[in-house]
Structure formats: C-alpha cells, structure tokens
Amino acid sequence: MSKKVQYRGLLVLGLLLAISWTGIDWLKEDSASVTDGGISSEANHLAELVMVPVNEKIHLPISSVDIDADYLALTSNTATVLESAYHHAYFHLAAYEEDPTYDTDLSVTEEGISVNWTSLLPPLFAIAIALWLKQVLIALFIGVWSGAWLANGGTLSGIFYGFFDTIAKYIVPGVADPDRMAIMIFTLLIGGVVGIISANGGIRGIINMLMKVVKTRIQGQFMTSMMGFLVFFDDYANTMIVGNTMRPLTDKLNITRAKLAYLVDSTAAPIATIALVSTWIGAMVAYIASAEAGMADYNESAYLVFINSLPYNFYAFFAIIFVLMIALSGRDFGPMLTSRMELLKAKTDPAFDKYHIHHKGDDEVVEVEERASHWLNAAVPIAVLIVSTIAGLFITGEGRTIQDIIGSADSYTALTWGGLLALSTAFVMTLGQRLLNQEDTFKAMSKGMHVMFDGLLILALAWALSDITQVLGTAQYLVSVFDGLLNPYWVPVLIFVISAGTAFATGSSWGTMGILMPISVPLVWNLGLSAGIDPEVSHQLIYASVSAVLAGAVWGDHCSPISDTTILSSIASQCDHIEHVRTQLPYALVVGAVSIAAIIASTVLGISPWIIYPVGIAILLGVLFKFGRFASLEDPQNPALDEAG
C-alpha cells in the first residue's frame, strides 16, 4: 500500500473520530432539550406514525427505549431495532417542533424508521471511499458507521454512539448468526484443505502427471487452461499453483509470460464463481441470503437461487470459452500478439528477452523443486469435499425431485460437513504416509486458513452493511424513486455495468458483491412487484440480477490493475504486472461486451440462454479469426510458421 493511500485512510478515520468525539459535548445540550411532557400532541401523532410511543418515559435521544415489560416482551435484537427506531424518529420530532409544516406522511420500515434519501448514504459512502482509498475494508466500515449514525437519528451525538454501534449492534450480531458463522467456518476449512494438499505435494503430483503428455505450444496452452478447471475450488490457489507449476514448461515451449498470466487469471475467478463447491460459494450464498432478507414474499433458498442463476452468468462462461479458443487456435491480437512477437525476436536479440527465457542471466538462481507426491493425495480430499457436500444436501433436504431436495436442504450444514470431512481426509492421508510431520501439517493448514482471513473480514463488514441498509430501508427508497421510471427488464444490465465499474475501481470482487447484492437484487424484485410482472418472470430477473452482480465483479476484477487475483497472477507467472494488465484487457473487454449483449437479449428480449450461448460463441470465434494472428515474422496468417505462444 502506498504512503499516499495510508495518509488518506488516516485522514478519513482521524476526521471522523474527531467529529464523533465532539458528540460528547453535545450530549448535555441534547438532554436538556427533551423534558417530560415537552413534546406536543402533534409530535406525539408523528411518533405514532413511526410506531414509537412518546410519553414521559422517554428520557434522552441517546438512551435505551424505556417500555414496561407488559407492554412488549423485548428480545435483545428487538430492543436494538426499537432503540434505533426511536433515535431516528426523534430526528423528525425535533424537525416537526421547529416547523409544523414538516411532512408527517412518512414511509417507514418494519423497524419503524422513516425511509428517505439518506438511506442511500451508507452504500454510497462505501463505494466512494473504496474508489478513493482503494481499501475496501476501511470503506465498508465507514459505510456501516454512517448507517449506524443515521439509525441513531442523524444527530451529532449519533456519530459518537454510531461508532460503537457499528461493532456492538451490526458487525458482532451479524457474524453471530448461525448460518453466517457456518459460512465462515466452511471457508476456513477449505482454506486448510488447500494448504495441506499443496504442502504435501498432491497438487504438484496431479500437474506432473498431466504434464507428461504435453509436447507442443498448443498442448501447453490447453493444459494450462485445464489446470484452472482442476484447481476449481479457490481462485487464489488456482493462480498460485497453476502459475508457478506451469511456468517452467511454458518457458520451454516458448509461450510468453503474458499468455501464461492471462490463461491463469481468466480461469481462476470465473470458474470459482460457477463451481458448486468452492471457497467462493459460501460467500456468494451468504450475499444472496442477505439480499433475500429485504425481499418480501420471496422464499426460495439462497443456494437454489445461485444454482438457477448459473445460466445467466454469461461473462464467466464466455471468459472460460474464450480462453479455450485462444489456447487451441494459437491466435492472438492486440498487445498479446505484440508480446509474442517480442519473444520471437528475443531468440536472436537479447534486448527483447526481458524474462531471460532464451538468454539466462549470470546472477539467476536455480529454483528449488517443489515437493511432489502421488496425485491421489490431492484428488481424494477434493473428491471427499464434493461428494460429502452433495450427500449433505440430500440428507438435509426433502422432496421427490432433485430441485425440491436441494431447495429445501440446509446448504450451510452440508458445506461444513463437506469441509470437515475433506480436512480430516487430508490430515489422515498426509500423516499416515508421513508426507509431513504433525507440526508441518498444522502449519500448512494454518497457512491455508490465513489466506482466507482478508476475504472473511470483507464478508463480515459486507454483512453488516447489508443489515444496516435493511434497517434504513434502502431498497424501499430506491423502489419508491424508480417505480414507474426504471424498466425492471433493463436493471440486470445496469447492475452488471455498475458491478464491473465498482470492482475495477476497488480491485475487490468480494467487496463489490457485498456492497451491491443486498441493494440491487431486492430492487429488481420490488420493481417487478410494483409493475405487476408475472412471478415466474420476476424470478428469472432475480436470477439474472444475481449473476449480473457476480459476473460484473469478476469482469471488473479482470480489467483492474489493483485486483488481488490479477496481481497474484502476475506474481505466480513472474510476468510484469503492467504487461499482464495491458495484454489481458482487450480480451476481457471483448468478452464483457458480448456478455452485455447477452444480458440484454435474455432479460429485455426474452431470448433463452440456451440460444444466446451458441450465438455468443460464434461472435467470439468471429472476432478471434477476424483480428487474430500467429507469431511469425514471415506470414502471420500461416499457423505452420508460428514460433511463439
């Protein structure tokens, strides 16, 4: 992180902390402004509108709501909601006392908080600060903090108390939810599995076995792409394992580092977003579940929504297909072709050999061979993960059809069962064969889990932001604004573009999903209800919107120079980072453009995805064969003269 970004972060946090501290000086003044019986009957009527009883038992705008036990049995969560409702209502009571013409016809949430434009501030703050600081964690925290401030009435004292409510009322209770905790545990478990099977040499064993059949550049590119399918369970593991393992082979086959980085990067996140079992699935299901909490009368399980949304994830599928086209055709265009031509020239001119593929430097150090063991040491734990998760879905689900069973299944329990059994299997196989000792096995597990921590922090803050937008009624306000103005059929297209832009600017696909999913998906559902759209069609729009958020986040990630997976792909491939971004960008833009057209065809024109995919593939093939060339100084149209991959 640059010092400039650090200073910006400290400036934002310092200013907000200073402002919040000044809230203490205003407490006495706020306290004195409210006395027993000091609120008029008109204000009392306004309080009734927001479902908060106003009487002599209300003390301060910073106190808990004081209600007799026989009036309402309060759980801790209900008390939190009512307290937030009271503070928000107090804001309007004060305005009404000063101005009797103040509008008392307020739209309110179920928690009794009035819905207005301020409900947009938390996600907007999160997006704006993420764009400015390039730090998603700080941005999400400030977004939740601003929401807690609004829930406390939007007063100066609310800034101070909202700061502590961010942790006490939103982050901690949100993470404490059993389903959300299951997602976090599953993510850690699968991180541990990846760590162990990487350290015990199983992953390397799989790749070594497959590398025996690779003899040509085309085969090398295709095998690199296929590695991405095999390491489907995690994008980080995908980039680091495939990039580092295949690099010596691709160098021998005269394949550019830029091409290797592209093949690795473009098969990592897209595959992770469509895999039924991966480190992403927990987060994606959790984001969908958060969105469903703001959708009235919507009862479909989050996991089933994810499965039904897969046909609409056009970018992920088209990106994977385009990678295979590039790998098998041997054609390239734009900066990628230029990179191949430079490698071709590097054979005779060392000035072009910046990676010392043909001309080794005197100071280069020979790399230490990584541990390799039998491929079953990785394949068996992965198979156990998949089979046990599927079995868990059938055990916890009910119904006569597969769709009914999966729809009613407890996916959180199934995922944790699968993760636990896979981790146990990896442990037993590693220790039983003495591939690692007990201490090294635990270290490998901890290292794999540690990789997941950043994602889990983003996930926890995204959950809190989702919860605060529901308390403030953000989706309700958006519906009230766009009702009759925004065509629901076009919303998935807009979501895809906005998601891509956010991910591009922030470099975080998980952060983008966490910010946009709880807002955009309920918006589509509620707009559909307002427009009287057939429920079946509304469900299709929901599936398209879910995929638009997920696919847009991955598209923006591929185009962004600050994306974690883009950076990791450069590191694992030992490719210059700017060269990787520059060579991959045209391909990502082509696939993104085709995906936008596909979403329009699907949601606006009502064309089936099964018709759209063949057409989209034909368009991608046309672009590749129209602009693609081979790396040849003599005849770039002749594949027989192609000398660099």
Residue 294 lies inside a defined structural domain of this protein = no
**449 or 358: which leads in pLDDT:** 449
Residue type, 221: Q
Residue 161 lies inside a defined structural domain of this protein = yes
pLDDT digits (tens, 9 = 90+) for 358-389: 555 544 444 445 577 888 888 898 888 878 88
Q: Is the pLDDT of residue 50 over 50?
A: no
Element (H, E) at 481: helix 474-482
Cα separation, 177 vs 466, in Å, equals 14
Mean pLDDT of 163-174: 89
Residue 505 lies inside a defined structural domain of this protein = yes
Residue 517 lies inside a defined structural domain of this protein = yes
Measuring CA to CA, which residue among 196, 195, 144 is closest to residue 173? 144
Mark which of 176, 193, 223 sits at the end of a domain: 176
Q: What is the pLDDT of residue 622?
A: 96
**378 or 633: which leads in pLDDT:** 378
pLDDT digits (tens, 9 = 90+) for 520-559: 888 888 888 888 888 888 889 999 999 999 999 999 889 8
**116 or 441: which leads in pLDDT:** 441
Domain of residue 30 covers: 3-176
Residue 538 lies inside a defined structural domain of this protein = yes
Please list, in sequence order, all residues whose beta carbon lies within 8 angstroms of the beta carbon of residue 495, skipping any fewer than 6 positions away.
516, 520, 524, 545, 548, 549, 552
Distances (CA, A) of 268 to 163, 391, 427, 508, 563: 37, 26, 26, 14, 13
Q: Is the pLDDT of residue 81 over 50?
A: no
The tally of domains found in the chain comes to 2
**263 or 102: which leads in pLDDT:** 263
Q: Choose from 47-61, 143-157, 496-510 the range with maximum mean pLDDT.
A: 143-157
Q: Is the pLDDT of residue 62 over 50?
A: no
Place of tokens 């944790």: 416
Count Cβ atoms below 10 Å from residue 563 Cβ, excluding itself: 23
pLDDT digits (tens, 9 = 90+) for 313-335: 999 999 999 999 999 988 899 99
Confidence of residue 598 (pLDDT cuts 50, 70, 90): very high
pLDDT digits (tens, 9 = 90+) for 280-323: 777 788 888 888 877 877 888 888 899 999 999 999 999 999 99
Half-sphere exposure of 93 (CA within 13 A, CB side): 31
Cα separation, 407 vs 304, in Å, equals 5
Place of tokens 């922090």: 457
**0.75 cut: is pTM over it?**
no
Mark which of 130, 153, 176 sits at the end of a domain: 176
Residue 137 lies inside a defined structural domain of this protein = yes
- Dihedrals φ, ψ of 571, to 5°? -65, -50
Q: Is 80 helix (H, G, I), strand (E, B) or coil?
A: helix
Measuring CA to CA, which residue among 51, 240, 13, 245 is closest to residue 139? 13
Q: What is the pLDDT of residue 63?
A: 33
Confidence of residue 57 (pLDDT cuts 50, 70, 90): very low
Cα separation, 223 vs 263, in Å, equals 10
> How high does pLDDT run on average in the chain?
75
Please list, in sequence order, all residues whose beta carbon lies within 8 angstroms of the beta carbon of residue 482, skipping any fewer than 6 positions away.
523, 527
Mark which of 144, 176, 208 sits at the end of a domain: 176
User: Is-contact 115 480, C-beta < 8 A?
Assistant: yes
User: Is-contact 439 121, C-beta < 8 A?
Assistant: no
Residue 125 lies inside a defined structural domain of this protein = yes
Count Cβ atoms below 10 Å from residue 254 Cβ, excluding itself: 20
Residue 422 lies inside a defined structural domain of this protein = no
Mean pLDDT of 193-215: 81
Cα separation, 331 vs 335, in Å, equals 12
User: Is-contact 493 543, C-beta < 8 A?
Assistant: no
Residue type, 264: V
Question: From the centroid of its chain, how far is CA 366?
Answer: 38
Q: Is the pLDDT of residue 44 over 80?
A: no
Tokens representing 557 are 């990630």
Q: Is the pLDDT of residue 346 over 70?
A: no
